[in-house]
């Protein structure tokens, strides 16, 4: 990408908002026209600084004559212009508007609140869940409690958005709650704290511990570590004999949390590699943790929506022979983005490096393929389990071919590999397939062999 390319692509954002505009680069000149009439021109820039000056000048000229641009606003112009630029780069680099950037930061880091999940009702807001280590937990609130009012405002018949707005507020601000529990009422005062989103949920299916990870936020690895310690070191029930990590629908999140999640399971081995043009983009992450699962067999559930950091975790545990993968081909989002803050409080999300699995194959476009495919139907999954139990890996040849892939991978090869187990949404029978696989030592051994 050269400065002339950058300037021309950015100017084409004008035509996305106002079709009457036309832009061209010819004979050493960048020119903007409106309805066939030349409006403004600047010399073709040779540096990024010159490109910025030319864009500012030409945008200003277009703004002055276009009611459409002034109506949609500067942020829409920025969005359209960056969209045009990033269309020439990669699928994931993008401009993030200030409003979206603010909500994304809240989702990643957590907001200042009380640590409650509630549901509106005619009497008030009923507590559905209390987040660990939250102000609500410290105050002893429990599921089933009813919030009647907050700071004198009735919680009855409020919409979900309004309830969220009432519960959240500035860090350290007070929330005066009137609570009903059974027939009793009491008043409490809580101070709002930053409560990371709850991204790890646990359930038991017989002697199998199911760990559902919905995203990789700022606290996910700690939440997983606490769940594993509770299951193995302080069991209220017998310790699980095996585990399922459910990453279906997990679109990723923080890279560092993915690495730390793997550290909860792997004590040695390569977790991931990254490669890029800049020397700082080239790294190798090694496991340096403790296996909190005590070596128990692990199956990972994935589907076509499993992406990014979730794919890193899956590839790391699979390539190191530590888990069997069940489901379908994953999304194949194998580029790492960095966030660049902008003066308008928006952000640029820029692809910085590509992710390579421990064995060296690229995640981008290929995705992770399962040892047990469920996307071809229940009968196919059943036959796959039978073959694994007999020591025959139905996906073995495809997985070996995938692990030998190196950048650049031909599109025809990507299509051929992914067609062996096409991406699909998770199915109801996926969990039972994983549990059945874990219950058969020979099937599990075959599924984790390389």
pLDDT band of 129, cuts 50, 70, 90? confident
Q: Above 90 in pLDDT, residue 225?
A: yes
Q: How much is the mean pLDDT over the chain?
A: 93
Q: Above 70 in pLDDT, residue 433?
A: yes
For every residue of 432-449, DSSP letters joined together read: HHHHHHHH-HHHHHHHH-
pLDDT in tens, 77-99: 999 999 999 999 888 899 998 88
Stretch (H or E) spanning 419 = none
- Give mean pLDDT, residues 344-364: 94
pLDDT band of 109, cuts 50, 70, 90? low
Q: Are residues 42 and 76 in the same domain?
A: yes
Residue 195: predicted pLDDT: 80
Nearest-angstrom CA–CA distance, 24 and 9: 10
- Give mean pLDDT, residues 194-219: 91
**What is each CA distance from 182 to 18, 151, 179, 234, in whole angstroms?**
61, 22, 10, 31
Region of 4 (left: φ > 0; alpha: ψ -120 to 50; beta: rest) is: alpha
Percent of the chain with pLDDT over 70: 98
Q: Above 90 in pLDDT, residue 171?
A: no
Asked whether residue 105 is domain-assigned, the answer is: no
The count of domains in the chain is 3
Q: Above 70 in pLDDT, residue 108?
A: no
Residue 53: predicted pLDDT: 94
Q: Are residues 312 and 425 in the same domain?
A: yes
Residue 192: predicted pLDDT: 94
Q: Where are the beta strands (DSSP E) in 247-394?
A: 270-275, 283-286, 298-302, 324-327, 335-341, 347-356, 372-373
Residue 107: predicted pLDDT: 67
Return the top range by mean pLDDT from 169-178, 193-202, 408-417: 408-417
Q: Above 90 in pLDDT, residue 161?
A: no
Residue 105: predicted pLDDT: 76
Q: Are residues 335 and 365 in the same domain?
A: yes
Note whether 298 and 322 are within 8 A (CB): yes
Q: Above 90 in pLDDT, residue 238?
A: no
Q: Are residues 120 and 267 in the same domain?
A: no
Residue 409: predicted pLDDT: 96
Residue 99: predicted pLDDT: 86
Q: Are residues 175 and 209 in the same domain?
A: no
pLDDT in tens, 246-284: 999 999 999 999 999 999 999 999 999 999 888 888 999
Q: Are residues 123 and 48 in the same domain?
A: no
CATH number for the domain that contains residue 335? 3.90.226.10
Asked whether residue 96 is domain-assigned, the answer is: no
In this structure, what DSSP letter does residue 289 have? Answer: S
Q: Above 80 in pLDDT, residue 111?
A: no
Q: Are residues 410 and 272 in the same domain?
A: yes
Please name every residue paired with 275 in a beta bridge, in sequence order, or none if there are none.
354
Q: Could you tell me the residue range of the domain that residue 183 belongs to? A: 111-195
**Whole-structure pTM value:** 0.80
Note whether 286 and 316 are within 8 A (CB): no
């Amino acid at each position: 990408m050269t400065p002339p390319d950058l300037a021309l692509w950015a100017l084409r954002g004008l035509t996305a908002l106002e079709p009457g505009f036309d832009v061209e680069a010819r004979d050493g000149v960048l020119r903007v026209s409106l309805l066939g009439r030349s409006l403004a021109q600047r010399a073709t820039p040779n540096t990024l600084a010159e490109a910025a000056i030319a864009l500012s000048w030409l945008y200003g000229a277009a703004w002055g004559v276009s009611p459409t641009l002034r109506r949609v606003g500067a942020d829409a112009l920025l969005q359209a212009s960056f969209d045009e630029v990033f269309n020439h780069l990669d699928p994931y680099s993008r401009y993030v508007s200030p409003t979206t950037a603010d909500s994304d930061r809240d989702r990643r880091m957590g907001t200042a609140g009380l640590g409650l999940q509630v549901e509106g009702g005619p009497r008030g807001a009923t507590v559905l869940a209390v987040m660990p280590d939250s102000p609500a937990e410290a105050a002893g609130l429990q599921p089933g409690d009813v919030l009647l009012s907050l700071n004198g405002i009735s919680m009855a018949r409020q919409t979900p958005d309004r309830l969220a707005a009432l519960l959240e507020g500035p860090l350290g601000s007070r929330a005066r709650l009137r609570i009903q529990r059974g027939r009793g009422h009491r008043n409490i005062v809580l101070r709002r704290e930053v409560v990371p989103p709850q991204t790890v949920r646990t359930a038991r299916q017989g002697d199998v511990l199911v760990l559902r990870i919905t995203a990789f936020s700022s606290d996910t690895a700690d939440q997983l570590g606490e769940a594993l310690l509770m299951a193995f070191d302080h069991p209220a029930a017998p310790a699980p004999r095996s585990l399922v990590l459910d990453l279906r629908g997990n679109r990723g999140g923080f890279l560092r949390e993915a690495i730390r999640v793997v550290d909860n399971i792997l004590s040695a081995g390569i977790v991931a590699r990254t490669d890029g043009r800049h020397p700082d983009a080239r790294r190798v992450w090694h496991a340096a943790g403790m296996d909190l699962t005590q070596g128990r067999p692990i199956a990972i559930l994935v589907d076509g929506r499993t992406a990014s950091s979730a794919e890193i975790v899956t590839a790391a545990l699979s390539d190191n022979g530590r888990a069997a993968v069940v489901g379908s081909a994953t999304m194949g989002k194998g580029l790492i983005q960095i966030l660049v803050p902008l003066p308008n409080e928006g952000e640029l999300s820029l692809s910085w490096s590509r992710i390579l699995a421990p064995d060296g194959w690229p995640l981008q476009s290929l995705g992770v393929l399962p040892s047990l495919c469920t996307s071809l139907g229940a009968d196919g999954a059943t036959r796959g389990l039978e073959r694994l139990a007999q020591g025959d890996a139905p996906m073995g040849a495809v997985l070996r071919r995938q692990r030998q892939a190196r950048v650049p991978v031909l599109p025809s090869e990507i299509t051929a590999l992914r067609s062996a187990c096409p991406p699909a949404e998770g199915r109801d029978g996926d969990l039972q397939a994983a549990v059945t696989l874990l219950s058969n030592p020979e099937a599990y051994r075959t599924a984790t062999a390389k």
